[in-house]
Structure 1
């Protein structure tokens, strides 16, 4: 229960991530602009705090039991801090358009998903987020001990904290999620898969024997590969992952980069990619697998990613890593 209470503190501090344009005045004013009284909670619910509704905006498809989860979270939050929560998932395909509109229209909300690879630095540079250092010192003294110094330091920009990270796996792998039914049908041995080359025999088998199934879906594949091999700075300037020296290179001149795109050109000629490869995304890839029309989709991976996505999509999946964390 103590750990759960700390998670509530984290959520409330994350609430300070509300865009500065969403309310006028200080943090308290912004809170009142975006929060609403929780129905049926009374004046303080025994906590000494006024009722408040937390609005959480995050990228995901809305599950069937969203309301059930939201209600249970609200019960817990009401008990602890007299707050309820509104979960507002937004499909990845619409995320940029909808969240940008929310920002420029000053639509009130409290919690917003962000990441180092997804607009965090850009939004900080625009002054979109509130600095959390003073709030941490006042209300979240126990949080650094829970998250650890590395997590906290990694979230700072210019020495200042604007977001609290999720405490989860520290490393991230890259590879594919595969339709388990087809893996078992053709008795693919995925235990030894370590590289893109190791995937090619499977893709060829699917192409030759399953005319209605696309071997690979999603334009994010090249992004996933690039993230696995380079720490990008700007445009094609990056530091190769695993490099022992902090030296930026032009990826367009890197033999590894050139070899990859030559391989992708060959895969395209083999007919392994979906016809919408330039615009399709991971959600579309998962929907095609669910419909029995695709075999693999590129993904950033973690332990248990296949189990998580199997539950989410209702399709049995297995994962293979082609790049180590």
Structure 2
């Protein structure tokens, strides 16, 4: 089934083609207006998806039976293919096309949308109509969405942290008696990969997590502070922003990746690879790949790869702004029904029936209950012919209200809640960088990163010669100016947190 991690992988790639759009700074009325053809306001809910379920309207009708009674409003579900999402939502936002509740994400330019005046500040609306949101959300999660002291989006409640780790084929782990509980460092990983290389020469020991994505996206030891152009190593209490690519840790990492590449532990030509790690495992090309860890990850990856998988963490779980702001809901500036939009958003954090209609569809038609909180497909229904196969519980408000699909641990949400509580919170949790003062430098530096980083981190480029060249090019492109601006904004943000 489609999952959180898989969609985030797609998002990371789509981010590379993020388009800018013109904005409109018109102020919209906060008074409710009627929906088309009636006196009840209609909330147009816009979100991305990989498929548009054929029974979407049936589910929408069931949702509206509830919303008419509870908030005197209806909802129109407007899914947009993820490949077109940035372009179409930018057009909607810049042209004030009717959109009242929109799925926004840090990877799709959330702070840029705020800077362009495309999203409404939600603080007052949240206080007035979002009491259930405030009951279930950690204030640190809500504050992570703030830009310049104001909240422009509400994060969904899900796994709010990440722990760098590795996913492996269970059959080969068992075959060679690999004790994954003892795999804690990259040296431990290397020893395991060599075992696979020696005994399974036709299988690549470790493959890319996602085609075109830098390994440090999923194996990291720093807060990226939004864009990785200036990071916070080890989630530092000193709030000192540094150039990741100049650090000793980065040099050691790319040297390790070069060693793995030279020893045949990685794909021969990873920079031209077009397949996700899950597909490479599924096709018997790969054994393992780096991946963020969370409760239920082994079953999730087993379902995607269709191969039993086991997983282990290499780092402790950490919550950063980027982790929290991955999935959020905002109200576009042009909405004529912002109060109704906030009322419905509040239901997504309070009403279990609404959440499960959005997540799984209609009981008896799209799923049946196995127990109070576990569901499965009805007889004759599977992932291929299910009429409502949205599979986006991570995006639909409070995930903890969602049923658990059969095969997952029935206690998945309790485990996820404990996972969130156990996570280290970055000292910069809640900081959002406004790159507009250095947008020219950001463009130039991003181009340099695109030229060198993937090659270095995949072992294709020799760090002895290419890392110094990379660092020099970054400096010439203006990374020091970006870091100076980011440090300035971070210091100002930190000062305001202590007031």
Interval containing the TM-score (normalised by the shorter chain):
0.7 to 0.9
Quick one: which of 94, 108, 111 aligns to 2:102?
111
Give 2:46's aligned residue: 55
User: In the aligned structure 2, how far is the partner of 1:30 from the partner of 1:267?
Assistant: 60
**1:104-137 deviations in Å (ceiling 9; x for gaps):** 433855422403x663223322333232223223
Quick one: which of 147, 169, 184 aligns to 2:174?
184
Q: CA deviation at 1:173?
A: 0.5
Contact kept? 1:36, 1:52, Cα under 8 Å: no
Q: How does 1:228-243 map to 2 (within 5 A)?
A: 228-232=221-225, 236-243=229-236
TM superposition outliers: structure 1 runs of 4+ over 6 Å: 22-25, 27-32
Answer yes or no: is 1:322 the counterpart of 2:324.
no
Give 1:26's aligned residue: 28
Q: TM-score, normalised by structure 2?
A: 0.49
Contact kept? 1:217, 1:280, Cα under 8 Å: no
Give 1:262's aligned residue: 255
Contact kept? 2:164, 2:293, Cα under 8 Å: yes
Give 1:101's aligned residue: 87
Please state whether the residue corresponding to 2:181 is helix, strand or coil.
coil
Note closer, same or farther for the CA distance 1:207–1:20 as it changes in structure 2 (3 Å cut): same
Looking at secondary structure, tell me which structure has more strand per residue: 1
Q: CA deviation at 1:181?
A: 2.4
User: In the aligned structure 1, how far is the partner of 2:118 from the partner of 2:267?
Assistant: 37
Q: Pairwise CA RMSD of aligned residues?
A: 3.5
Give the paired residue count: 283
Gaps of 5+ in 1: 1-18, 38-42
Quick one: which of 98, 109, 120 aligns to 2:110?
120
Contact kept? 1:20, 1:128, Cα under 8 Å: no
Note closer, same or farther for the CA distance 1:242–1:57 as it changes in structure 2 (3 Å cut): closer
Give 1:138's aligned residue: 128
Please state whether the residue corresponding to 2:267 is helix, strand or coil.
coil
Q: CA deviation at 1:167?
A: 1.3
Please state whether the residue corresponding to 2:117 is helix, strand or coil.
coil
Quick one: which of 298, 305, 310 aligns to 2:290?
298
User: In the aligned structure 1, how far is the partner of 2:29 from the partner of 2:207?
Assistant: 44
Q: How does 1:75-90 map to 2 (within 5 A)?
A: 75-81=62-68, 82-90=74-82
Q: CA deviation at 1:204?
A: 1.3
Contact kept? 2:170, 2:308, Cα under 8 Å: yes
**1:45-96 deviations in Å (ceiling 9; x for gaps):** xxx83455533215xx449xx4468844652344224324244452xxx4xx
**1:214-249 deviations in Å (ceiling 9; x for gaps):** 2222243232223x3344466652221243422223
Contact kept? 1:236, 1:252, Cα under 8 Å: no
Contact kept? 1:23, 1:30, Cα under 8 Å: no
User: In the aligned structure 1, how far is the partner of 2:129 from the partner of 2:152?
Assistant: 15
Note closer, same or farther for the CA distance 1:73–1:265 as it changes in structure 2 (3 Å cut): farther
User: In the aligned structure 1, how far is the partner of 2:33 from the partner of 2:195?
Assistant: 56
Contact kept? 2:104, 2:153, Cα under 8 Å: no
Please state whether the residue corresponding to 1:225 is helix, strand or coil.
coil
**1:148-200 deviations in Å (ceiling 9; x for gaps):** 31111111111111111111234321112222222222222111221211111
Gaps of 5+ in 2: 1-20, 69-73, 318-499
User: In the aligned structure 2, how far is the partner of 1:100 from the partner of 1:123?
Assistant: 11
Answer yes or no: is 1:163 the counterpart of 2:165.
no
User: In the aligned structure 1, how far is the partner of 2:230 from the partner of 2:42?
Assistant: 49
Please state whether the residue corresponding to 2:284 is helix, strand or coil.
coil
User: In the aligned structure 1, how far is the partner of 2:196 from the partner of 2:51?
Assistant: 31
User: In the aligned structure 1, how far is the partner of 2:217 from the partner of 2:48?
Assistant: 24
User: In the aligned structure 1, how far is the partner of 2:81 from the partner of 2:169?
Assistant: 26
Q: CA deviation at 1:262?
A: 0.7
Quick one: which of 218, 228, 248 aligns to 1:224?
218
Contact kept? 1:20, 1:127, Cα under 8 Å: no
Give 2:203's aligned residue: 213
Note closer, same or farther for the CA distance 1:321–1:235 as it changes in structure 2 (3 Å cut): closer
Q: TM-score, normalised by structure 1?
A: 0.73
